A and B are shown apart, each in its own frame.
Chain A
Amino acid sequence: MDIFFQQLVNGLTIGSIFALVALGYTMVYGIMKLINFAHGDLVAMSAFVGLSVYDQFLGGTTNSLVAVLTIFAATGVIIAMAGIILERVAYRPLRNAPRLSAVVSALGASLVIQNGIMLIWGPRMRFFPADILPATTWNIGGVYISFIQVVILVVSLLIMAGLIFFIDKTRVGAAIRATSIDHDASRLMGIDVNRIITLIFVIGTFLGAVGGLFIGLYYRGINFNMGWNYGLYAFVAAIIGGIGNIPGAMVGGMLLGIFKAFIAGYVSSTWADAFTFTLLIAILVVRPTGIMGERVAEKV
């Protein structure tokens, strides 16, 4: 039984990261009906920015909590700005163009960011220091949970709860929901659609930045081309949950993480990916709009 719970913990940890990244895909899709393929690369970039912030400004800091908070705040701001620039440069000029043009632009932006990371930080793997967070591990009846895993789970859940509250209960959240339904009608109601889209990119890329920093802090090795890997799984998670749907992205990410862990644990790690994508196809056959996709009215 301890093996079962260990796999659950394994799955929830990676699932939280998938979910955070998936939110970026799903929010942009909800508002703009656009798959932001550059999102995964912004996630990779955030890990590099976080590492640079730590190296350049906090090199000698021993107070780990302050260091971690500074990394998250500084990286979040920088990556959110990158998100705004991305939207202005790559997507806004194509807002009224055919949807395929925007997809090509997204793929191009993805390559530009990926190669940009390579030019700035180099093609070699970079490493987060091991001592930013305490390396404590708890053994609860044979199930091992490390401090960083707890941080990833708790912070992800808090962020997601905050996001749902923000979308469902605030005036800006209502404006976001309205924009996702109809741009023109929203404009007639006095909503600044451009500002809402910018806001969506800020929130989406900020969540991605948190995910990217978790990848760096947990796995420690970061690579300029790792955005594709995490981006692909997060994209799959967003589709499983129903793309455009915020709780769907969270459920999709967690499900994908747990599913991958259980397949590797109980069936075969060799076939983990084959089963994962079979699951995706099966879900789409049964529910073409994804698990939570039927709540069209709440699409964001």
Chain B
Amino acid sequence: MNKMVRVITAFLLFFALSGASAMASDTIKIGVQAPTTGQYANEGQGIDQGVRLIAEQINAKGGILGKQIEIFTCDDEGTAMKAAICAKDLVNKGVIGVIGSYTSTCAEAAQATYYRAGVLQTTDGTSDTLTEHGYWTFFRNSFPNSAEATYTANYFINVKKYKRIAIVTDFSSYSTGLGSSVEAEIKKLGGNIVYQGKIKAGAQNYTPVLTKIKSKHPDVIYFSGYYNEAGLLRSQQMQLGVTADFYGSNACDNPDYIKLAGKFAEGSYLINVPSPELLPYDLAINFLKDYRAKYKMDPPSIWTLLNIDGMRAFLYAIEQTGTTDTKKLAEYLHTIKDYPGITGPIQWAPDGNRTGSAHQTYEYQADGSKKIIYPVVK
């Protein structure tokens, strides 16, 4: 009797663990892991809304392989702890692919769980550590920090010829990763870094750090981190009379940055891949039109569109291979060449990095718009 129970349990466990691809289901289940509440709520909701928009459009046309797409969203609140719980939750729901999360920290916390379950993952996280594990399930839909770091260092040293550089990061894996890559690249080019320090995200009061930076007389302050801190840093920097140029990294690209920095946003700089409204592709223009029609607002930033591109590539692979076997899908995704994305052509290196780079430098204008200043458009 005991043996019988054990055999049955083993069978049940086997079926439970063998995942979605083994289970016959009449929908294609896609997970969204995004911070829909908390301090990155703005970005998280953008990702969730974008994914649901695409799913709705495809379902209206009859779905993929004759199946409807079903979306499951899990809110990771931008914290690693919640991200790990979300990963288990989504795997248990039987999703074959997960879109997200927004932050590298959360993507990294969930990564191993998806890998072990054989669930595909696509994130906009730019931290270089994300692709260092060699997980076949991982596909980055943005460009890694190392590409941005090379661009930033070259721009600071060879174009702007800054002599005294201050670098500020927070404690997240994205921020410290990008910050130390930029530092290494600047040193490689013989640049002079006069200050380097960390701030605590969410602390709001950054005047002590900025006063310390002021005593070092930098001609530029570079912050690799998120928009909330960037906005406060910029406004407190100007209130303290620190006249150095201010540059934010890619995650500072958000309308909330301008709201927090207020009138001081004007004249500050941003380094990022092009923002949604500056993308030249028809796909991008159409997506923005549909998004506005459905949600009565613009997507919060480029990060929504990058994640959508990851999702579109997954769905494209399902359509082309005619299967939901994630192993086969991953193999196929590595072979695609210049798949037309909303954010430009997509192809992946064997380690899951999206290849190419499209970084630009923007200057904020008095009306809050961004003007491209480098590379100079001919």
Residues of A within 8 A of B (CB): 3, 6-7, 10-11, 13-14, 118, 122-125, 127, 130, 135, 137, 139, 144, 146, 215, 219-221, 223, 225-226, 229, 260-266, 268-270, 272-273
Q: What chain A residues lie within 8 Å of B320 (beta carbons)?
A: none
Does residue B214 face the partner (Cβ distance < 8 Å to A)?
Answer: yes
5 shortest interchain CB distances as A-B pairs:
A264-B208, A123-B37, A10-B207, A261-B208, A270-B198
14 contacts between A and B (CB under 8 A): A6-B207, A125-B256, A144-B241, A220-B235, A220-B259, A221-B204, A221-B259, A223-B38, A226-B204, A261-B208, A264-B209, A268-B197, A269-B197, A272-B200
Q: Is B205's CB under 8 angstroms from A10's CB?
A: yes
Does residue B203 face the partner (Cβ distance < 8 Å to A)?
Answer: yes
Contact of A127 among B203, B207, B259 (CB under 8 A): B259
Cβ of B323 to closest chain A Cβ, rounded Å: 38
Within 8 A of A (CB), among B255-305: 256, 259-260, 262-263
CA of A286 to CA of B260 in the docked complex: distance in angstroms?
Answer: 42
Contact of A7 among B208, B239, B256 (CB under 8 A): B208
Contact of B205 among A6, A14, A265, A273 (CB under 8 A): A14
Given A127-B259, A269-B198, CB of A221 within 8 Å of CB of B207: no
- With most chain A CB atoms within 10 A of its CB, the pick from B207, B214, B259, B262 is B207
Residues of B within 8 A of A (CB): 36-39, 41-42, 45, 197-200, 202-205, 207-209, 211-212, 214-215, 228, 231-232, 235, 239-241, 256, 259-260, 262-263
Q: In the complex, which residue of chain A has the Cβ closest to the Cβ of B215?
A: A3
Q: Is A11's CB under 8 angstroms from B259's CB?
A: no
CA of A260 to CA of B340 in the docked complex: distance in angstroms?
Answer: 51
Q: What chain A residues lie within 8 Å of B37 (beta carbons)?
A: 118, 123
Q: What chain B residues lie within 8 Å of A146 (beta carbons)?
A: 239
Q: Is A221's CB under 8 angstroms from B208's CB?
A: no
Cβ of B214 to closest chain A Cβ, rounded Å: 7
Cβ of B258 to closest chain A Cβ, rounded Å: 10
Q: Is B208's CB under 8 angstroms from A3's CB?
A: no
Q: In the complex, which residue of chain A has the Cβ closest to the Cβ of B202?
A: A229
Q: Is B208's CB under 8 angstroms from A139's CB?
A: no
CA of A144 to CA of B235 in the docked complex: distance in angstroms?
Answer: 13
Contact of B260 among A3, A7, A221, A264 (CB under 8 A): A221
CA of A135 to CA of B45 in the docked complex: distance in angstroms?
Answer: 33
Q: Other than the known A220-B235, A221-B228, A223-B202, what 19 A-B pairs have Cβ atoms closer than 8 Å? A: A3-B215, A10-B207, A124-B41, A124-B42, A125-B39, A125-B256, A127-B260, A146-B239, A219-B204, A219-B232, A220-B262, A221-B232, A221-B256, A221-B259, A221-B260, A265-B211, A265-B212, A269-B209, A270-B197
Contact of A137 among B228, B231, B239 (CB under 8 A): B239
Cβ of B171 to closest chain A Cβ, rounded Å: 8
CA of A11 to CA of B209 in the docked complex: distance in angstroms?
Answer: 11
Q: What chain A residues lie within 8 Å of B209 (beta carbons)?
A: 264-265, 269
Q: Is A6's CB under 8 angstroms from B41's CB?
A: no
- With most chain A CB atoms within 10 A of its CB, the pick from B205, B209, B263 is B205
Contact of A13 among B197, B199, B207, B228 (CB under 8 A): B207
CA of A261 to CA of B263 in the docked complex: distance in angstroms?
Answer: 26
CA of A128 to CA of B133 in the docked complex: distance in angstroms?
Answer: 43
Q: What chain B residues lie within 8 Å of A6 (beta carbons)?
A: 207, 211, 214, 240
- With most chain B CB atoms within 10 A of its CB, the pick from A3, A11, A146, A272 is A272
Cβ of A215 to closest chain B Cβ, rounded Å: 7
